[in-house]
Amino acid sequence: MFKNIFFYLSYQLGRWVSVGGIPVLLYHSISDSDWQFAVSPADFNRQIGWLNGRYICVTTKDVVDWVEGRKTLASNSIAITFDDGYEDVFTQALPILRRYDFKATVFVTGNRQPNRRVLGNTFTLLNGFQLKSLVREGWGIESHSQTHQLLTELNRQLLDRELRSPLQAIRKITQKDVTSIAYPKGVFNELVKEGAARYYRAAWSIVPGFNRQNDDLYALKRIEVKRDTSLMAFKAHLTKTVEFIQGLKRWYGKK
C-alpha cells in the first residue's frame, strides 16, 4: 500500500518537471514465469501502450549519438533494451512492439550457450534465424560479453577475451557491427570500463536514472523493469522525482 501511494505521489509531482535526459528501459524476459526479471506479456503490453503517444521510441545508438552531442533528439525520447536475449523477446515482445512501431536493442552473448548458472534460468535463447529477423525489423543486436561472466572478477586476459570475442561472433550472425555492450548483471569498475573503451563506443549499466549529454559513455544508465513493477511504478520511474530519491539513496549509501 505504501509503495503504491509513494509511486502515485511521485508520478503526480514529477510529471510536470522536465527530466532533462533520455530514459532507457531494461527488460529481460517477457513471459509468465515467476522469475523476478520476467515481465508478463499482459503487463508489457500495458506499459508499451502507455508509452505510445507520450514518448518517441529511439535506438540506443541514437541515445549514444545524443550523449556525444552528435544528434538532436526530442525531449520525450525513450529507448528499450533487453538483456540476455531470450526467445520470448521474439515470440512475445516483438509482436507487441511492432503494434506500436517501436524498436528495441537486444544485448546477447557471443557464446550462444553461456553459463546457465550465471544467467539463473534455463530459458531458451534466441537462435540465429530470430536474431537475423530482429535485425530486419530494425532492431539492434549488441554485446552482453562472451559468456556472461562477472567482468569485475576476471583477470586482464580473461576480461579482454570476454569483451573482444563477441564482436566477431555476433557480427557473423547479424552482418552488423557491434558498437556497445551491456555489462553482465550491470557490474563494472574502472578496469572494466577501460577494457570496454578499447572495443566499444559505449557501455550500459543498470544504474537507474536518465542519460544526459556529456555523460560517461561507459556508465550509461537504464531503468530496470521487473515482474513486480506495477504500472504506476513504471510511470513514476520515468519522472524526475524518483530519480532524485534514488540519487539520494546512492549518495547516503556511500557515506
Reference 178, options 210, 203, 205, 149; nearest CA is 203
Is residue 243 within a helix (H) or strand (E), and if so which, with residue range? helix 240-254
Domain boundaries, the chain: 21-254
Residue 188 in grid coordinates? 563494472
Judge whether residue 240 has pLDDT over 90: no
Condensed to tens digits (0 to 9), the pLDDT of residues 138-182 reads 999 999 999 999 999 999 999 999 999 999 999 999 999 999 999
Query: Mean per-residue pLDDT for 98-114?
Result: 93
Residue 96 in grid coordinates? 507487441
Judge whether residue 11 has pLDDT over 50: yes
Q: pLDDT value at position 121?
A: 87
Q: Which amino acid is at 45?
A: N
Q: Of how many residues is the chain composed?
A: 255
* The model's pTM: 0.91
CATH topology for the 21-254 domain:
TIM Barrel (3.20.20)
Q: pLDDT value at position 3?
A: 65
Q: Which amino acid is at 164?
A: R
